[in-house]
Structure 1
Amino acid sequence: MAGPAGMEFNAMLNNISQDLSADNLESLKFLCKESVGKRQLETISSGNQLFQALEERSLLSPEDTHFLSVLLKNIKRPDLENQLSAFQRGHGQLQQPVCEVGADTERLEAAFEVICSNIGKDWRMFARKLGHKEALLQQIQYRYPSDMREQILQALREWQRVKGEDATVDMLVKVLRSCRLNMVADTVEEEVNQIG
């Protein structure tokens, strides 16, 4: 990784690595079993080596530190999580889409809730129809290997981030119907109509 941002990123990871206790590292390795693989984890003896393995799998980069942030939260190291957040803020990167708060946001959130609760294993077909590439869907699955609901929510959030103001409930309903997910589409419309 070249450039000053890359160097700064590596320096920040190095600091986090030095602050990890042996127990912290073991906990992180355990949490990364699905993503990295048992055999490689056995050869890892430092935070830096683990971070490198995550970078190789596109789970960690200067633009995307979400996966590491979740790991640090899980091992209860808010101090290290804050270091990560400070780096992200310094580079103007936003982890979550920022959108105008209003009726539309409330309606979208209600629609997301219905979709996450009802779409099940068809979510990847639906996500492709929303315009997501297969590589992104695999990355989402790597990040949340055993949480389908979170996989669906992340796909929806990414769609919302990309579309910006063009992200509407009507568009979601249209895509649901094009996937023959009419019952889910009907439920979304019912829920959203209650908001007004």
Structure 2
Amino acid sequence: MAGKSFEYTKVLQGLALVGGSDFESWKHLCAKSGNIRKAALEDIDNPLQLIELMERKNLLSENDVSMLVSIMQELGRIEQSNKLVEYEKKWALTKETQTTKYNDLLTKFDHSLNDSEVQQLKFLCRNYPGFTPDKRATMQTSLEIFDHLERAIVLDENETSVLKDLMKQIGRLELAKDVETYEEKYQGKSGLIDAQQEGLEDLREEFDVVVKYIGRNWRQLARRLRVTEADIDCIMVKHPNNLREQSRESLKIWQINNRSAATKAALISALRKCEFNYIADVMEKKITE
């Protein structure tokens, strides 16, 4: 059975033939919404480019195709609209559904974690904003810890990577798996496997090599790969105690930002420009094996 990402991509591909005045009207409606500047639309010359722009602006995702449905209806594109509505009924999620499942996940964790594990969580979170010694001393349950992580803006229903990381660090791998299942279903995240369905190169082995050897130097490589300082800061806040997750997150951001240009050759070139020749050599050896 085809999965969510496959069906999402398939229904979007069906919009590739929208052209002429309908395509121009589509661009106009995007600009009219106020979410996309007209200047950003000037270089868009086909529907698939426009779809990717809408995704980058968070106007479209696997979980929310409502804006695209409205646009197709306004254009009189009944066939495309109906297919989007069919996808929406089967796959897209309401905000209320996701919020409920997110809260259910946190409640399950609270019931599953013992006092020793709660103490471990407090210790692991000590570098997050607001987790002062006095504040940590008042936290008695994991729900209180999760609440403070939300206040630190590193955890919410659309960003649960820190929760998954914490569960792995305290050895609760089955709970980390629960987070992964939630992400796949309610955030549309399934790592690089989904990326491959979108035509991106499979770089899992190459990322593993970098993560294994890069250590604290990941920021130098990230800057060479043009990951922004804002993203680097965000990565460090999300994973303050885990260099491996920091480096892997930066590589994922690079791949998402550069899409088809994010290749093995480009990564090796960046490593050599940073003089991380040993890592590049290991990577090239693995590629040729």
Is the pair's TM-score, using the shorter chain for normalization, greater than 0.5? yes
Question: Secondary structure in 2 aligned to 1:64?
Answer: coil
1:126 aligned partner: 221
Instruction: Name which one, 1 or 2, has greater alpha-carbon Rg.
Output: 2
- TM-score, scaled relative to structure 1: 0.72
Residue 16 (structure 1) aligns with: 109
Cross-structure match for 2:135: 40
TM-score with structure 2 setting the length: 0.52
1:183 matched residue in structure 2: 277
- Which residue identity does 2:166 align to in structure 1? L
Residue 159 in 1 paired to residue 254 in 2? yes
Please state how far the C-alpha of 1:113 moved relative to its aligned partner: 4.6
The answer to whether the 8 Å contact 1:115/1:188 transfers is: no
Q: What is the percentage of aligned positions where both structures have the same residue?
A: 25
- The separation in 1 between residues aligned to 2:279 and 2:117, in whole angstroms, is 44
Q: Give the aligned CA root-mean-square deviation in angstroms.
A: 3.3
Residues 113-158 of structure 1, C-alpha deviation per residue, up to 9 Å, x if partnerless?
A: 5544554544213212323222322233234434434422331133
**Distance verdict in 2 for CA 1:17–1:135, change over 3 Å:** farther
Distance 1:117 1:65, change over 3 A: closer
Contact 1:141 1:151 in 2 (8 A): yes
Aligned counterpart, 1:91: 186
1:7 deviates by 4.4
Using the alignment, how far apart are the partners of 1:114 and 1:85 within structure 2?
A: 22
After superposition, the Cα gap between the structure-2 partners of 1:159 and 1:23, relative to the gap in structure 1 and judged at 3 Å, is: same
Aligned residue for 1:52?
147
The farther-off stretch of 184-193 and 128-137 is 184-193
Are the structure 2 counterparts of residues 185 and 61 from structure 1 closer, same or farther at C-alpha, using a change threshold of 3 Å? Answer: same
* Pairing 1:95-114 to 2, within 5 Å after superposition: 95-98=190-193, 99-100=195-196, 105=202, 108-109=203-204, 111-114=206-209
CA 1:170 to 1:64, structure 2 compared with 1: closer, same or farther past 3 Å? same
Alpha-carbon separation, structure 2, partners of 1:81 and 1:22: 18
What residue ranges of structure 2 are gaps of 5+ in the alignment? 1-94
Deviation at 1:50, TM superposition (A): 0.6
**CA positional deviation for 1:183:** 3.0
User: What is the number of residues matched between the two proteins?
Assistant: 188
Gaps of 5+ in 1: none
